[in-house]
Amino acid sequence: MLKTLRLVPIVVAIAASASAQSVTFTKDVAPILQRSCQSCHRPGQMAPMSLLTYQDVRPWARAIKQRVMDRTMPPWGIDPHIGLQSFKNDPTLREDEVEKLVKWVDAGAPMGTAADMPKAREFDDSDRWHIGKPDIIVTSPKHVVPAEASDWWGSYYVNTGLTEDRYIKAIESKPGNTAVVHHLLTYAVDAEMGDSNGDDSNGDAGEFLNEFAVGKNGDLFPEGSGRLLKAGSKIKFDFHYHSVGKEMTDQSQLGIVLYPKGYAPKHVVYSKQLGQPTEPLDIPGGSTYVRSDGYTRFNKPGKLTAFQPHMHTRGKRQCIELIYPDNKTEQINCADWSFNWHIVAVYSDDVAPIYPAGTVLHVISWHDNSANKANPDARNWVGSGQRTIDEMGFAWITWYDLTDEEYKTEFDARKATGAKRTTNTAPGLQPQ
Ligand code: HEC
């Protein structure tokens, strides 16, 4: 008897602390969804369901738990356990936010008190250019996306009308219809290219310009840096359209702000396909992990500002590393690949890898041609090629060259701060 009595207060104490910590939709979950999910998950946007209200969200609770735990939502891809981890555009949820969402789902997804609900997020007027008034606006041809059809990957080429070489100061891609534009990448290509409108190839060489991603406001190059747009060049619009059960038309735009005539920025920013596989790809039907390697040597010192893997439907994962002239090797990043998402990871200024002349970029890609992978046909042998059903394995790298002097100055400055910004343990040129 005495024993039971003694237990009572303890049980009450536990219950009280559990309720104090209980996680609710209005208090804990809604703020996370507003910041990290609603840019895509609201009516008229690309995601399949809205996550605005409790009623919208409740049926998806278990799917949300799964997608935030396996880190496929929000889409990003960069492996958080390897290499550099400081980006300008990383949408990843923090560990404690993932825990909160999981806890909420495990507790039965309670709504909580209405008074705790934060004010609805207001979304930006999508007609507005975030980069200021563009000097040039290039518009893609009208594309009709049927109510029901498989996804469409393809390119359109449009003239810029530019008659002299100019430098780009800022650039922004703006889809006409965000419900059906899954991704839009833009490239500058030479005048003679692009007679293949509607072709599904991704592989024509070109200068990668800009990517549209939901919630992204365009690229403003740091003062004194910019990208060359050659006279007569064309814009290649590279689309992934997705049907949404209703016929829709899209016509997208690229806006470009130029530096004044005659002005040449100190640093010219390049984006190119680097580290093409050294051997033609040879991926047997049913194979799980086939590796390919590619190498590109940088003849000048430089700073690598962004990384985007590029593979096709058999792509699984890609890693990049730098092999310095003294043969030390440093892992820069690894990213899981999904053909649904083409994501450019932009390094924060203070960690963007710098390297001396003679450094080799090593691109390592893994291809999966097994039945587990969303795969057009796991029985087929797959090789290198331009079509979506062929395979690729290179990286889009954005960088600018430095002089030896600039490289040394920045190297010394980073060393002096002593900040460790990478998970790597091997000594490399990132300050340890
Ligand atoms: C960049 C746009 C974007 C963002 C940001 C985003 N999603 Fe998604 N989400 C999508 C798209 C598109 C799909 C459908 C394709 C897919 O599954 O990859 C999807 C699918 C999902 C699914 C699976 C639905 C199903 O049919 O099973 C869940 C769950 C989900 N998202 C939850 C979230 C959560 C939670 C967040 C925020 C933490 C989030 N998403 C952020 C675009 C986005």
Given the DSSP bridges, would you call strands 267-274 and 393-401 parallel, antiparallel or unpaired?
antiparallel
Specify burial of residue 348 (Cβ count, 10 A radius: 0-12, 13-18, 19+).
middle
Angstrom distance (rounded) from CA 233 to CA 194: 10
Which ligand 1 atom is at minimum distance from the Cα of 46?
Answer: 12
Q: 50 CB less than 6 Å from ligand 1? A: no
Read off the pLDDT of each residue in 87-99 and give the average, rounded to a whole number: 93
- Residue to probe by mutation, ligand 1, list 36, 41, 70, most atoms within 8 Å of CB: 41
- Quick check: bond before 325 cis, omega within 30? no
| Residue whose CA lies nearest to ligand 1 atom number 19 | 47
Whether the predicted pLDDT of 405 surpasses 60:
yes
Q: 39 CB less than 6 Å from ligand 1? A: yes
Read off the pLDDT of each residue in 28-46 and give the average, rounded to a whole number: 92
How many domains does one find in the chain?
Answer: 1
**How many Å lie between the centroid of ligand 1 and the Cα of residue 39?**
10
DSSP 8-state secondary structure symbol assigned to residue 115: G
Q: Where are the beta strands (DSSP E) in 213-301?
A: 219-220, 225-229, 234-241, 248-250, 253-258, 267-274, 282-283, 290-297
Angstrom distance (rounded) from CA 163 to CA 308: 31
Whether the predicted pLDDT of 202 surpasses 50:
no
pLDDT in tens, 118-149: 999 998 766 678 788 999 999 999 999 999 99
pLDDT in tens, 268-299: 988 888 999 999 999 999 999 899 999 999 99
pLDDT in tens, 349-402: 889 999 999 999 999 999 999 998 878 889 999 999 877 788 999 998 989 999
135 Cβ contact list (under 8 Å, min separation 6): 256, 257, 258
Q: Is 7 helix (H, G, I), strand (E, B) or coil?
A: helix
pLDDT at 353: 95
Residue 90 within a domain: yes
The residue range of the domain holding 48 is 17-116
Residue 222 within a domain: no
Length of the chain: 432
Residue 59 within a domain: yes
Residue 211 within a domain: no
Angstrom distance (rounded) from CA 176 to CA 174: 6
The answer to whether residues 169 and 258 touch, using CB atoms and an 8 Å cutoff, is yes
- Residue to probe by mutation, ligand 1, list 28, 36, 37, most atoms within 8 Å of CB: 37
Q: 74 CB less than 6 Å from ligand 1? A: yes
Q: 75 CB less than 6 Å from ligand 1? A: yes
Residue 105 within a domain: yes
Angstrom distance (rounded) from CA 149 to CA 63: 25
**How many Å lie between the centroid of ligand 1 and the Cα of residue 358?**
42
Closest to 292 measured CA to CA, from 167, 196, 423, 394: 394
Q: pTM score, two decimals?
A: 0.83
pLDDT at 11: 45
Structure tokens at 164: 């002299």
Confidence class of residue 197 from pLDDT cuts 50, 70 and 90? very low
Specify the DSSP element, H or E, that contains 101: helix 95-106
Residue 158 within a domain: no
- Choose between 14 and 158: higher pLDDT: 158
Residue 22 within a domain: yes
Residue 360 within a domain: no
